[in-house]
Amino acid sequence: MKSIQLTRLRNHLIAIASLLLLSACAGPAPALSYHAVVDAGSSGSRIHLYQVSRPDEGMAITDVAQLESARGDGLSSYQAQSEQAGQQGLQPLLQALNDWLLARRIGRNTVPVDVLATAGMRLLEQDDAPAAQAIYRSVRRTILDNGYRAGELRTISGDEEGLYAWADVNYLHGNFRQGRRTAGLVEVGGASAQVAYETSQRGHAHAHAVNIGGASYTVLSVSFLGLGQNEARKAMVLASGQEHNPCYPNNDSGSPPGGFDAGAVVSGNYRFGRCEDLYQTVLSAFRVRDNAIAADFDGRDFIGISSVYHALNNWHVLDRPAMLSQALERQCSGSDAWSLKVMPAQGGSSGFAQNACANGTFINTLLFDSHYGLGLSGERVHGAGQINGQSPSWTRGYLLISGSR
């Protein structure tokens, strides 16, 4: 009996030793940390909270929370009261972050907070640099007063915004794994549009060298301030006039709305060709092809996000982008097209639906026009609202690139 017990004890000890050896060989589990990045846009700010780990194969970034406040004002709106930018513009967001971390017993002092501003602060820095600097000082004080570590607080360029968005969509697609080909990016917001893709043309004026996961990439990233769909639409209306605008659907029956685009347009009479002509005139001032076309552009697929995705999705051509122009001609043209076709197709009478014909024509011209736009084929464009369950955001791309330095 004693012999049997000794044998069992010896086997038990051997099993424990084997487990300890396996654990030692496996190494420690990758440490998790949290990083908050504030996207400080012209019309408001939001916090992206990321969980970051560094396993052997590279950086892993997961978006765990997106926090917004009820206030819709951007940091640039505090030009006249810059000392209040932190308490009024950022504190509501930080309070939401405070509550989220407290509920999970995560210490604030372990979480760095970066605040990166875009178009609104770009304009303010051009017009009133002292006010912009005072805003960032106020924001820094508020971050520190809340017990966080203040990271980067600055305004990013349009080219940086495109570069970070390119990094994000390729990261979400898993394209930074060895042997995978990266995709290009077309992002259209309200005020600007970004085009980015990997190129071998290192001497291009908009080429940027980056390191991601130990690999080097040269990325052409160019931003066109004024080619966001809202700014482009304003320029189109200015060129066309308020009445019988060819980029808006007809509404002769007088059913609501009485006008389009928050009253900027009194009446519409959609004509695809005429609307396209107007947007070609808008695009011509930006010399899109001269600035955005370089080595390796041809043949590369592009992921369209933000307004590109919404245009393709809203007109039900997400899986066949080349059909966008036909969908627009079919749905937007004709008598009473607004009430009979556009409103039912777009699911309501919101401002987005009112602008859908104009915005869709702009996106079509930007993507597919071979003289004034990018000249892509439909097969090379893939709209994305989510990628592998995550919403694209340049903030994650920023963290990926800055963490690889």
pLDDT in tens, 333-389: 999 999 899 988 887 656 689 999 999 999 999 999 999 999 999 999 999 999 999
Across 7-11, 59-63, 139-143, 246-250, least confident range: 7-11
**Higher-pLDDT residue of 10, 205:** 205
User: What pLDDT, in 10s, does the model give residues 138-178?
Assistant: 999 999 999 999 999 999 999 999 999 999 999 999 999 87
Residue-level pLDDT at 23: 37
Helices 91-103, 129-145: axis angle to 10 degrees equals 20
Q: How far is Cα 378 from Cα 321, in angstroms, rounded to an integer?
A: 5
Asked if pLDDT for residue 57 goes beyond 70, the answer is no
Closest CA to 219 of 183, 187, 244, 245: 183
User: What is the distance between the alpha carbons of residues 320 and 369, in angstroms, rounded to a whole number?
Assistant: 16
- The pLDDT confidence band at residue 30, using thresholds 50, 70 and 90, is very low
Q: Which CATH superfamily is domain 157-390 in?
A: Exopolyphosphatase. Domain 2 (3.30.420.150)
State yes or no: pLDDT of 16 exceeds 50: no
Contact status, residue 34 vs residue 111, Cβ threshold 8 Å: yes
**Residue 107 CB coordination number (10 Å):** 11
Contacting residues for 302 by C-beta, under 8 A, at least 6 apart = 183, 184, 185, 186, 197, 374, 376, 380, 381, 382
Domain with CATH 3.30.420.40 in the chain: 32-155
The proportion of the chain whose per-residue pLDDT surpasses 70, expressed as a percent, equals: 89
* Average pLDDT, integer, range 288-296: 96
Tell me what the mean pLDDT of segment 106-135 comes to.
94
pLDDT(2) > 90: no
- Say if residues 113 and 38 touch (Cβ distance below 8 Å): yes
Q: Please state, in angstroms and rounded to a whole number, the distance separating the CA atoms of residues 291 and 10.
A: 74
Using H for helix, E for strand and C for coil, what is the string for the chain? Answer: CHHHHHHHHHHHHHHHHHHHHHHHHHCCCCCEEEEEEEEEECCEEEEEEEEEECCCCCCEEEEEEEEECCCCCCHHHHHHHHHHHHHHHHHHHHHHHHHHHHHCCCCHHHCEEEEEECHHHHHHHHHCHHHHHHHHHHHHHHHHHCCCEEEEEEECCHHHHHHHHHHHHHHHCCCCCCCCCCCEEEEECCCEEEEEEECCCCCCCCEEEEEECCEEEEEEEEEEECCCHHHHHHHHHHHHCCCCECCCCCCCCCCCCCCECCCCECCECCCHHHHHHHHHHHHHCCCHHHHHCCCCCCCCCEEEEEHHHHHHHHCCCCCCHHHHHHHHHHHHCCCCHHHHHHHHHHCCCCHHHHCHHHHHHHHHHHHHCCCCCCCCCHHHEEECCCECCECCCHHHHHHHHHHCC
Q: What percent of the chain has pLDDT over 90?
A: 74
Residue 349's pLDDT is what?
A: 57
For the chain, give every residue range classified as CATH 3.30.420.150.
157-390
Judged against a pLDDT cut of 50, whether residue 40 lies above it is answered with yes
Residue 270: predicted pLDDT: 97
Q: What was the pLDDT predicted at 184?
A: 98
What gap in Å lies between CA 229 and CA 76, rounded to an integer? 21
Neighbours of 233 (CB within 10 A): 23
Q: Residue 291: which residues within 8 A CB-CB, separation 6 or more? A: 206, 222, 224
Instruction: Quote the CA–CA distance of 51 and 35 in Å, as a whole number.
Output: 7
Q: What is the pLDDT at residue 263?
A: 83
Q: What is the mean pLDDT of residues 255-266?
A: 81
CB 399 within 8 A of CB 50: yes
Quote the pLDDT of residue 55: 65
CATH number of 32-155: 3.30.420.40
Can you say whether residue 181 is alpha, beta or left, with left for phi > 0 and alpha for psi between -120 and 50 degrees? Answer: beta
User: Would strands 302-306 and 381-383 be described as parallel, antiparallel, or unpaired?
Assistant: parallel
Q: Tell me the average pLDDT of the chain.
A: 89
Tell me, yes or no, if the pTM score tops 0.85.
yes
Of 15 and 84, which is predicted with more confidence? Answer: 84
Q: What is the 3-state secondary structure (H, E, C) of 144-158?
A: HHCCCEEEEEEECCH
Count Cβ neighbours within 10 Å for each residue of 334-345 and write b for 16 or more, e otherwise. Answer: eeebbbbbbbeb
Question: How far apart, in Å, do the first and last CA atoms of the chain sit?
Answer: 64
Range with lowest mean pLDDT among 41-50, 78-87, 137-146? 41-50
